A and B are shown apart, each in its own frame.
Chain A
C-alpha cells in the first residue's frame, strides 16, 4: 500500500527532516508513527499525501510514485486518502454537514447520495444530531471528530492522521482512537502519528519510531 525506499527530505536551507527511510505498510495495517517533536513525523505524512516532495528515494502510494507524480494528478491521489490534521482545518463559515460535504462536492458526487453518505459519516463520529451546527460551537474533541468524518466520507482506503489526539484530554483521545480502531476492523490502512505513549500501550499496532529523521530499529 505504502512503501518508502531510501527516502530523504531536506527543506530549503539544508535542514534534513528525513534521512534514508525504508519501510513498507501493507493494506489493512494500523501503524503508529512515534517520535519526539521535530523527529519528522509530519514531514513523513506530508510526503505520503504529496504535500511535500522527497529529495531522494522512491515513495509508492497505491502504486503511484510520489516523487514523479504530475501536479495535475495530485488531486486524484488525495481523493483516495483521508487526511486528518492536528489543527483540524475546518471551515468555520459553513455547517458541520457542509464541511463533510466538501470532499464529495469536489469529486462531483450525486447530490442525494452524498447527503446519505455525509449523514453516515457524521453518525460514525457521533455528530449526526448536530449536523446543522457550526464548527465554532464544537469542543476540541468534537472538532477533531468532524475532521475525521470529512476524511472518511469518500471512503478512502488509506487514512493519515497527524497527531489526532495531540491537544485532547484522555477521554476525547480514547473516543478518537476507538473510531480509528473501528476503521481498522473494516480493513482500512491507517497511519497515525503520535507522541503519546499511553495510546501505544492501549492499542496494539506496529510502531515506526522516528528519531532525528531516522527510523529506529
Chain B
C-alpha cells in the first residue's frame, strides 16, 4: 500500500516536472483549454444573471387593472368586492392614484419631472393576484377582466417574463451545444498532446512492456498528465471568467449609478466552480485515456 502510494506520488511529481520542462507549449495548451471552456461557462454565468434578474422582477404573475379616470368611490368598493369574489383570483390589492404617484416618484428618480406636472395623470388601480400560474388561464382571466365596465386597461404583467423565459431557454440550449462541442475539442486537444508525448516515449513504453510493465503502469503517467492539464485549463477558464466579470462589474457600476440602481453581475458560485474544475479534469483524463488506449491497442495487435 505504502509503495503504491509512493509510486503515485512519484508519477505525480514526474507529471509536474514534465509540464515544467516544456513551459511554452504547456502554457499554450492550458490557455487553449481555458479559453475553450470559458466561452460556454461565460454564457452560462450571463444566463444565470439574467435569470435571477428576471426572477426578482417577475416574482409571481399579477394582473394590473387600471380604472377609468371617472370612477367614484362607490364604484371602487363594488369592483373590489366583485374581484375578491371571483373564483380565479386569490388576492386583490387596491392602489389609489395618489399612492401610485408617490411610488413612481420614489422608484424611478423622476421626481423632478413628476413634480412639474399640473395634476396627477395616474388612474386608480387594482393589482390582482390570480390563483393559477398557468399562462393560458392567466390570459383567459385577463380577457375576461377586459370586458368589465369601468376598466380602462388590463395588463398581464408577467407576459414579458414569459417571453424572456422562452428566450433564456433558447440561450441555455445554445450554451449547452457550445459546451458539448468545446468539450469534444478539449478531449481532442488532450488526445493530441498525449499522442505526441507517446511518440517521443515510444522506446520507453516498448522497453517497459518487454520487462513486464502492465498496461495500467504505462497508462498512469499519461492519465495524470491529462488530468492535471485539464485541471489547469479549468482553472484558467475560471480565472478568465472571474476577471472578466470583475472588469464588467466595475464599468457596470458607473453605468448603473446613472440609473440610480445597484445591479451587478454575480460571479460563479462555489459549486459551479467545482463542477467546472472537475469536469475539465475529467475531460483531460478522458482524452489521455483514449490516446493511450489507441496506442496500446495498435502495439498489442501489431
Mark A residues whose CB is within 8 Å of B. Answer: 49, 51, 71-72, 75-79, 81, 83, 85, 89-91, 93, 102-103, 105-111, 150-151
Contacts and interface: CB of A to CB of B under 8 A. Distances in A.
Interface stretch (B3-11, B91-99, B169-177, B283-291): B3-11
Contacts of B300: 71
Nearest to A93: B204
Nearest to B296: A71
B302 to A, nearest CB: 10
A108 B210 contact: no
B213 interface: yes
Interface string B37-62: 00000000000000000000000000
Given A75-B214, A89-B203, A109-B3, 6 more contacts: A51-B210, A78-B210, A78-B211, A79-B211, A93-B204, A106-B212
A105 B7 contact: yes
Contact of A83 (B3, B7, B210, B217): B210
Contacts of A77: 212
B187 to A, nearest CB: 26
Contacts of B3: 108-111
B213 A75 contact: yes
A72 B211 CA distance: 14
Interface in B170-228: 203-204, 206-215, 217
Nearest to B4: A108
Nearest to B201: A93
Given A71-B300, A78-B212, A91 B217 contact: no
Contact of B217 (A106, A110, A150): A106
A108 B211 contact: no
Q: Which 4 A-B pairs have the closest CB atoms?
A: A78-B212, A79-B212, A75-B214, A106-B213
Interface of B: 2-4, 6-7, 10, 203-204, 206-215, 217, 300
B3 to A, nearest CB: 5
A111 B3 CA distance: 8
27 contacts: A49-B210, A51-B210, A71-B300, A72-B215, A75-B209, A75-B213, A76-B214, A78-B210, A78-B212, A83-B211, A89-B203, A89-B210, A90-B207, A91-B204, A93-B204, A102-B211, A105-B10, A106-B208, A106-B211, A108-B4, A108-B7, A109-B3, A110-B2, A110-B6, A111-B3, A111-B6, A150-B211
Contacts of A111: 3, 6
Contacts of B204: 91, 93
A160 to B, nearest CB: 11
Contacts of B210: 49, 51, 78, 83, 85, 89
A110 B10 CA distance: 12
Contact of B212 (A72, A91, A107, A110): A107
Given A51-B210, A107-B212, A91 B4 contact: no
B280 to A, nearest CB: 30
Contacts of A103: 211-212
Contacts of B217: 75, 106
A102 B206 CA distance: 12
Contacts of A150: 211
A91 B214 contact: no
A90 B210 CA distance: 12
Q: Which of A71, A75, A78, A93 has the most CB of B within 10 A?
A: A75
Q: Which of B208, B211, B217, B300 has the most CB of A within 10 A?
A: B211
A75 B212 contact: yes
Contact of A72 (B2, B206, B207, B214): B214
Contacts of A79: 211-212
Nearest to B207: A89
Q: Which of B206, B214, B215, B300 has the most CB of A within 10 A?
A: B214
B215 to A, nearest CB: 8
B199 to A, nearest CB: 14
